[in-house]
Amino acid sequence: MKVCVIGLGYIGLPTALLLSEKNEVIGVDLKKDTVDKINKKTMPFEEPGLDNILKGSGITANCKPVPADVFIICVPTPFDKEVRMADLRFVKSAAESIVPVIKKGNLVVIESTVSPGACAKVVVPILEKSELKVKKDFYLAHCPERAIPGNTLNEMVNNDRIIGGIDEASTKMTKDLYSTFVKGNIFTTDITTAEFVKLMENTYRDINIALANEFAIIAEDVGIDIWEAISLANRHPRVNILRPGPGVGGHCIAVDPWFLTENSTKCKIINTAREINDCMPAYVLHKVKEITKGIESPKITVFGVAYKGNVDDARETPALKFIKLAEKEGFNVSIYDPLVKHFEYPLTGLDDAVKDTDCVVIITDHNEFKHFDYNRLLSTARHKNVLDTRNVVAQNGMFNLVTLGKGKYFD
């Protein structure tokens, strides 16, 4: 079977590589640099395990779709912050790019996260510009991704998947295709339910994190250690509280809840959770201002701008808002991240980032930050303060350690 995967990013390329083991796969991306790297068997981003698969695969890449049996759309779905809605321009553009090459009997699968109803109301009218009709001439399904950067290969293969077709034939064809590499269970439903389920999953996590963040703020007022409290509470067989932190980032959790709210007036819990998580960078800055009170022209050092630990992905990272707020308040900000290569602000080496700093602020829980000797690391600092928003610093020493969620009176 010939498969054309449109969008060769963090989801599209791994999907294409896994499918290439039993199918002829052509990858499509608008970025010529990405296309050139893939054709040279070079990964355009870091992800464990994929480099070896790419080198041994027969995948080729182009900048435009070519005729195929199956088209899989894996393009980003940005969040339009001004109107708090899903921005479907990339999905629309990808669908339009298929129109000249789609043929009768083809299957189109949307992996991109979309708002409920988008496949039927937005994608179908575009594809039918080909003069082919859905259900009659071509097939359509939604198969939302379930993978996380840093563990993508394992999760794509072993996680359960949801497939929702626009009709039973579309569902069956898509299930047969994904069964070639998915070892987890594949559950089927209708296309709109599949869209909704994906958004539910990430909204649940966003709300859980918001609850953890609120617990952390209250714990500081009460004077207890929220990290210990959460660990103890989670020993209850029906409780699973996630970890607090400086906010929520990534391409899913910080964005997807808004896709559910864009066409509804009954979203109180979702809106509140988003407000709590979006305000965490400001809360972290408030703590920094307390720590550096009285210091003239304070310098702070941000450790980590990736949205989560041990990945090079800085999409929707809470670090960006924190840095912008800090600069607005007059702080001199230096940034160190051992994995991220491209960021809106300059990244510096570790020694330069820490030199003459007044406070190190740990935003991302990279493993490297857990193993630093902070006594030695802060030897060139002007003031030896560390604000740990991820509870990664375990050592004591000749420096002032403040941890998010540990009350002032905690001993």
* Surface-to-core class of residue 112, CB atoms within 10 Å of its CB (0-12 exposed, 13-18 middle, 19+ buried): buried
Domains of the chain: which residue ranges?
2-191, 256-403
**Successive 10-residue mean pLDDT values, the chain, 411 residues:** 96 96 96 96 92 94 97 92 85 98 98 95 98 97 90 95 98 97 97 96 96 98 96 98 95 87 85 96 98 96 96 94 97 97 96 97 97 94 97 87 81 41
Please name which of 199, 200, 202, 128 lies closest in space to residue 166, comparing C-alpha atoms. Answer: 128
Looking at domain 2-191, its CATH class is: alpha beta
- Intrachain domains 2-191 and 256-403 with the same fold: yes
Residues contacting 106, CB < 8 A, separation 6+ = 68, 69, 70, 71, 138, 139
- Look up 252 and say whether it is catalytic: yes
Please name which of 356, 357, 321, 360 lies closest in space to residue 337, comparing C-alpha atoms. Answer: 360
Instruction: Specify the length of the chain in residues.
Output: 411
Can you give the pLDDT at residue 254?
A: 86
Can you give the pLDDT at residue 408?
A: 64
Query: How far is 256 from 243, CA to CA, in rounded Å?
Result: 19
**Phi, then psi, of 168 in degrees rounded to 5:** -65, -35
- 191-222 and 268-291 helices, crossing angle to 10°: 40
- 37, 252, 287, 308: the catalytic one is 252
Can you give the pLDDT at residue 183?
A: 97
- Look up 63 and say whether it is catalytic: no
Q: Which residues of 243-255 are buried (b: 16+ CB within 10 A; e: fewer)?
A: bbbbbbbbbbbbb
The Cβ of residue 128 has, within 10 Å, a number of other Cβ atoms equal to 15
Can you give the pLDDT at residue 390?
A: 97
Instruction: Read off the tokens for 85.
Output: 């809605």
CATH match of 256-403 with 3.20.20.70? no
User: Residue 268 half-sphere exposure, CB side, CA atoms within 13 Å?
Assistant: 0
Give Rg (Cα) of the chain: 23
Percent of the chain as helix, strand, coil, to the nearest 5: 40, 15, 45
Residue 405 backbone zone (phi > 0: left; psi -120 to 50: alpha; other: beta): left
Q: Give the Cα-Cα-Cα angle 50, 155, 306 (nearest 5 degrees).
A: 70
Can you give the pLDDT at residue 411?
A: 41
3 state SS of 15: helix
| Helix (H) / strand (E) containing 189 | strand 186-190
Instruction: Read off the tokens for 27.
Output: 């990858």
- 37, 175, 198, 406: the catalytic one is 198
